[in-house]
A = this chain, B = another copy of it.
Amino acid sequence: MLPFLSRADETMNANGRGIAQARETGTLGKLMVLLDLVTHADAPLRFTDILSLAGQPRGTLHRQLTHLVEEGLLELDGDGRYAPGLRLLDFAARSWARNEFRLIAEPHLADLQQATGETVHLGVLRGQSIIYLDKVEGRQPVRMYSQIGNASPCYCTGVGKVALSLLPAESLVDLLAGVNFTRFTAATHASPASLLAEIHEIADQGYAFDREEHEAGIRCVAAPIWSEDRTFLGGVSITGPAYRLSMELLAQWAVPVRQAAGRIMEGMRIRLGPRR
């Protein structure tokens, strides 16, 4: 297994809940915070652990957890440890299998993988995170869920940066205001200032690199996919180890990546155009 596939999730915790638009009020909102807590934990949590993390009164928390367990969103084992519920898998399997964007992109991702021999990703922006919707790899059978579904920061990934480059100025400012700039490697942007400079450049050239910014030794080149009104829909990227992907090679691959993105856009227009 290549090193970048076994990427540990600890880095993910820095995200907090960067996916939802943050609505921690209302019955559902509060329950989702709990679900986030448990799913983001490195190990199953005891009642008391959650109590200290959630800062809710004991009685309240207990009932909330009971409800989540009753719905299959959490599971409570015999030792009183709460883990994510498997019903989530069923939901996810369905949302993935029927996702129109992914279905349209799929053949083009496969073509791009064939052309370059490296790993290809499809990602979308949700909140401040990039969620990988699909991944096409060459050699080894993919350990599913290994990357798909994972949320990564937008400020240090290729897909993330092309996403930001298409955002209207004010949305960009709003989004970055909520980002916690964790320094994953020496190359990670440490502040909005340096990031913004690169974003403008990316907006001009139409593609972005990840120069080992999220993980040492891993590079990528990404291109955006947008709708008629230039709204960002998602991004395609080619990812691989730095020893194999020189910056020169990556720069050459900007062309096929953008072509693949273009074909996906074409597919979206054919499929969705008439209805809009």
Contacts and interface: CB of A to CB of B under 8 A. Distances in A.
Interface of A: 9, 19-21, 23, 26-29, 31-32, 35, 39-40, 42-44, 67-68, 70-73, 78-79, 83-100, 124, 126-127, 129, 131, 133, 135, 137, 140-142, 144-146, 148-151, 275-276
A149 B72 contact: no
Given A21-B70, A68-B28, A71-B23, A86 B133 contact: yes
**How many identical subunits does the complex contain?**
2
B276 A79 contact: yes
B144 A89 contact: no
Contacts of A31: 28
Contacts of A100: 44, 83
Contacts of A67: 23, 26, 28-29
B27 A27 contact: yes
Contacts of A89: 92, 95-96, 131, 133, 148-149
Given A23-B71, A27-B28, 11 more contacts: A23-B67, A28-B68, A39-B95, A83-B95, A83-B100, A84-B91, A87-B126, A90-B149, A90-B150, A97-B146, A142-B144
